[in-house]
Amino acid sequence: MSEESTEAGATPEEETVVDIMASQAAEMAAEQEKLSKKFRLIAGEEVLLTKRPSTFAFLNLYMLGLLVLAIHLIFEFEPGKDNESFFVGLLATIFFSSGAAGLTGVMLFITWMNRLMNVSTSGRWVTLGLLIVSLAPTLVLLDDLIAMTGLLNDNNTGYLPNYNFIIFGGGFVAVYMALVYYYQRSFHYAITSDAIIFEHSFLLSRSHRRILFDRISEVVVARSPTGTLLGFATVTVLTDSGVGIVEESNVPVVKHSIPGTNENENDSNMEKAGKGLIRTLIGIMTYQRTIRTIRPDPKHCMYNIRKWEKAKGLLNEMHKKNSQSHLLSDLKKTISETTSKD
């Protein structure tokens, strides 16, 4: 082979580099196509950055599950009953002697307090799950009581298994943790060449929000103490329409006008007092602490993401590029250049 042909041809190392670059380009194109379908991009739009919530983004939900498991374990092992202190031993004996009924009372109290505080774990689905866990021991207890009467069968046995604190507690928490993880992975965010997109898909629930850069009025970064330690933060995009602002009134969730408790002219003082007591009890049970703040809703913000500095910097850059003032500056510059050439 002559020197000219050797110089004209590519070396094996160069061919390998070309093949690697072609393979990477094909993978990037396939990834862009996949993201384009997922985030429903328009023609010519390109994904610049994607984010998901951090592994520890929903740490409070996981901690709530561990609390429920810990309570079940306490009722299983009954610590303090053999304590040398007579007072501690007596309290532990009274507390644990109620068994399933006592567990129901403790769980209902936790459910009520969690709902009352109006924190990130106070959503309706978490509250419903806590109610199911709270009432499960009582359902088993009622099944046993009905079975003792012989109404269900002649064997005086119930249809539900005995409530084992470890088995039922572990089962409830395992299902709860799996749902929390699935919920955590259901959020996906993207910064494109035209907008910021919030995608959410959980069970049968779907949501898709798209905010153009010229609609953004402010980019807010919030870091909790946990986020500061673990390296994540929430990036919230505010618009002129008030996206990200939650305004609530300080009233119970259930209105005072509860069906069946309206006072009539013919009601006696005893009936009025009874209806008022029912309204008060329901108001206390459904009361929820209210606030007015920028609420970091995972559906409408980049919730507890890692490497948030990159996301914030890109948002500010794209917002500046698409803002009216920047566009007017570009137009003024173009006109000036055209005039100077003429």
Using an 8 Å Cβ cutoff, are 230 and 55 in contact?
no
| 130 CB-near residues (< 8 Å, 6+ apart) | 68, 107, 110, 111, 114
pLDDT of residue 1: 45
Which of helix, strand or coil describes residue 193? coil
pLDDT of residue 2: 47
Which of helix, strand or coil describes residue 199? strand
Whether the per-residue pLDDT at 150 is higher than 80: the answer is no
Instruction: Please write the tens of the pLDDT for every residue from 303-342.
Output: 999 999 999 999 998 888 887 655 556 555 666 666 666 5
Between 92-96, 244-248, 280-284, 336-340, the lowest mean confidence (pLDDT) is in: 244-248
Mean confidence (pLDDT) of the chain: 80
% helix / strand / coil in the chain, to the nearest 5?
55, 15, 30
| 166 CB-near residues (< 8 Å, 6+ apart) | 72, 73, 76
Q: What is the share, in percent, of the chain residues with pLDDT greater than 90?
A: 34
pLDDT of residue 154: 62
Q: Indicate the pTM of the whole model.
A: 0.73
Instruction: Please write the tens of the pLDDT for every residue from 85-104.
Output: 766 677 777 777 777 888 99
46 versus 337: which is more confidently predicted? 46
Residue indicated by tokens 């298994």: 161
Using an 8 Å Cβ cutoff, are 134 and 105 in contact?
no
pLDDT of residue 330: 55
pLDDT of residue 191: 95
Q: What is the share, in percent, of the chain residues with pLDDT greater than 70?
A: 73
Helix residue ranges per DSSP H, 149-261: 165-184, 225-230
Q: What CA–CA distance (Å, rounded) separates 307 from 25?
A: 25
pLDDT of residue 4: 47
pLDDT of residue 3: 47
Domain boundaries, the chain: 59-183
Q: What CA–CA distance (Å, rounded) separates 183 from 60?
A: 13
20 versus 150: which is more confidently predicted? 20
Confidence of residue 277 (pLDDT cuts 50, 70, 90): confident
CB neighbourhood size of 266 (10 A):
6
Q: In the chain, which ranges are E strands?
A: 47-51, 187-192, 195-202, 205-212, 216-222, 232-239, 245-247, 292-294, 302-306
State the greatest distance between any 2 C-alpha atoms of the chain, in Å, as a whole number.
Answer: 116
pLDDT of residue 23: 76
Confidence of residue 244 (pLDDT cuts 50, 70, 90): low
